[in-house]
Chain A
Amino acid sequence: MKDLSKRNLLWGGLVFGLIFAIGLWQALSQPPSFRGALLEPLLPAPPLQLQTSTGEPFDLQDYRGKVVLIFFGYTSCPDVCPTTLAEMRLLQANLGADAADLQVVFITVDPQRDTPERLTTYVQRFSPQFLALTGAEEALQTVWDDYGIFREIQEVDSAAGYLVAHTARVYAVDKAGNLRLTFAFGTSAEDIQHDVQILLQEATP
């Protein structure tokens, strides 16, 4: 009787272990599923050389080993840009210590009005870790073009002067420097965090 129950236990354990191993193998052999839009084929992020709003040179190449989230916007934008930056702040806070390998970058689409001072004040309200980038209009135009940013000044009847229509996606550059994912405006903070956590867990090349 004692032997029988021991044997049952042994078989049960074996079957359970097998099922567990199959599940684990399946989970590991499948590529991680992202919630943002995966950019395929996998390509290096276009060069990004601008100045930070505090006057230092910025080169995306220096950020290998980090996950970089890029958002294009302007400081006169009262709705979509602060909404996105607030989401980025929430993400940074939720990641805790893991956020050390995350860099959030805000690139102006309105260099005419976005002075470095304005940009600094604007992004620092969300987080002192965020960087705002600007540069000569030609340098910015190259970056907008390379990243597929639609940007158009709209002369409207507004006390705010002109408004700028612009692509409102967040771009994620992985640790290897590839332009990996984009998140449409309105993607939930949880979904972005889910994807960024996968990117943060990847090995530094």
Chain B
Amino acid sequence: MKKYLLVFWAGILLLAACQPGASQIVVQDAWARPAGAGENGAVFLRITNAWPDDDALLAASSQVAAAVEIHRSSMQDGVMSMTPQERVELPSGQEVVFAPGGLHIMLVDLQQDLKVGDTFEVTLHFENLPPQTVTVTVREP
């Protein structure tokens, strides 16, 4: 009986230890358009902060591009411009959508072709929570 109790508590401890890094930030539907080496690409996704505290996305990194930046496209009087974002707020309990014509992770100077069906990794760096690596699928929208 004691043995079982020990296993039980060990299990609880293990669960607790796993808690940080378990999905407090949930990233869904990460995709990129096809693009060629030497061009710029864009990654779109949905980030939900399921953590009780607010957080912010500060940067992203990936092997597939010379540089990775967070940008926001915005439209004013029919003119589209892009602005680099130093941080994107991730309020607790809310979903932030990176979608065409708005927020996107810009892959500057792709080091490889991105073809439909390819997958690659992008690591998201947050202000408080540990970085999270997500798999991005290349597809047509």
A193, CB-defined interface residue at 8 Å: no
Using A79-B101, A80-B73 as known contacts, say yes or no to A165 and B39 having CB atoms under 8 A apart.
no
Instruction: Give complex CA distance A75, B38 in Å.
Output: 10
Instruction: Give complex CA distance A150, B41 in Å.
Output: 24
Hey, which chain A residues are within 8 Å of B109, CB to CB? Answer: 159-160
Among B66, B67, B79, B84, contact of A168 (Cβ-Cβ < 8 Å):
B79
Using A86-B33, A160-B69 as known contacts, say yes or no to A79 and B81 having CB atoms under 8 A apart.
no
CB distance from B106 to the nearest CB of A (A): 5
Question: A72-87: which residues lie under 8 A (CB-CB) from chain B?
Answer: 75-80, 82-83, 86
CB distance from B81 to the nearest CB of A (A): 3
Q: Are A78 and B106 in contact (CB under 8 A)?
A: yes
Q: Are A167 and B108 in contact (CB under 8 A)?
A: no
- Between B35, B73, B141, the greatest number of chain A beta carbons within 10 A of the residue's beta carbon is seen for B73
Q: Would you give the 0/1 interface string for B42-80, flagging 1 where the beta carbon is closer than 8 Å to chain A? A: 100000000000000000000000110101010101111
Q: Are A185 and B35 in contact (CB under 8 A)?
A: no
Hey, which chain A residues are within 8 Å of B104, CB to CB? Answer: 78-79
Hey, which chain A residues are within 8 Å of B33, CB to CB? Answer: 78, 82, 86
Using A79-B73, A80-B80 as known contacts, say yes or no to A159 and B36 having CB atoms under 8 A apart.
no
Q: Are B67 and A159 in contact (CB under 8 A)?
A: yes
Determine chain B's interface SS by DSSP, over half rule: strand
A125, CB-defined interface residue at 8 Å: yes
A122, CB-defined interface residue at 8 Å: yes
Question: B88-110: which residues lie under 8 A (CB-CB) from chain A?
Answer: 100-101, 104, 106-109
Size range of the chain B interface in the assembly:
20 to 34
Instruction: Give complex CA distance A83, B75 in Å.
Output: 14
Q: Are B71 and A79 in contact (CB under 8 A)?
A: yes
Using A83-B141, A160-B106 as known contacts, say yes or no to A78 and B84 having CB atoms under 8 A apart.
no
Q: Are A78 and B83 in contact (CB under 8 A)?
A: no
Hey, which chain B residues are within 8 Å of A118, CB to CB? Answer: 38-39
Q: Are A78 and B66 in contact (CB under 8 A)?
A: no
Residues of A within 8 A of B (CB): 75-80, 82-83, 86, 118, 121-122, 125, 150, 152, 154, 156-160, 163, 165-169, 184-186
With A150-B78, A160-B40 given, can you name 17 additional A-B contacts, CB distance below 8 Å? A77-B82, A78-B41, A79-B100, A79-B104, A80-B101, A82-B42, A118-B39, A125-B34, A159-B67, A163-B81, A166-B79, A167-B78, A167-B79, A168-B75, A168-B79, A185-B101, A186-B101
